[in-house]
Amino acid sequence: MKQKIRGIMVLLFIAISCLSTGRVCRAGDSQKEIIYSGHIKNMIMSCESKDWMCDSTSRSIRGEYALYKLKESFLRANRPDLVHEMIEENVGIKPYQMTYYLNKRFFEVLRKSMDYCERPGTVAAMK
């Protein structure tokens, strides 16, 4: 029963993703801004759909869940800035190009924050 519900949720997510990419451009908005913002929204929804992972008995799956939650928080907090960066960097509008750029930015920020935590004198380095 649970797997059937998950399957329906996945299909519903795919249908919503397909519908949201066909939005019409509003006056004053650039076409790329709408496409980028919609793609970020879809990535946030994808991260949200991983909530089932937190109950797993597998340590690695729970770790993956934590990574998805970090990515979701990053995308939510930085959505307008990321859209602006993507326009400046002239990122393509194909889904794989946008996903690549957003993942690259997420892991750059994650690496910088981990480097900071490993510096001598920080609380994390003292443990």
Predicted confidence band at 121 (pLDDT cuts at 50, 70, 90)?
Answer: low
CA distances from 92 to 24, 81, 89, 111 (A): 19, 17, 9, 25
Question: Element (H or E) spanning 106, and its range?
Answer: helix 95-118
Spatial separation of the C-alpha atoms in residues 100 and 91, rounded to whole Å: 10
Backbone angles phi, psi at 108, to 5 degrees: -65, -45
Quick check: pTM over 0.75?
Answer: no
Mean per-residue pLDDT for 103-125?
79
pLDDT tens-place string over residues 10-54? 434 444 444 444 444 443 348 999 999 999 999 999 999 998 888
Q: Please report the pLDDT score of residue 54 as a whole number.
A: 84
Examine the pLDDT at 76 and tell me if it is beyond 90: yes
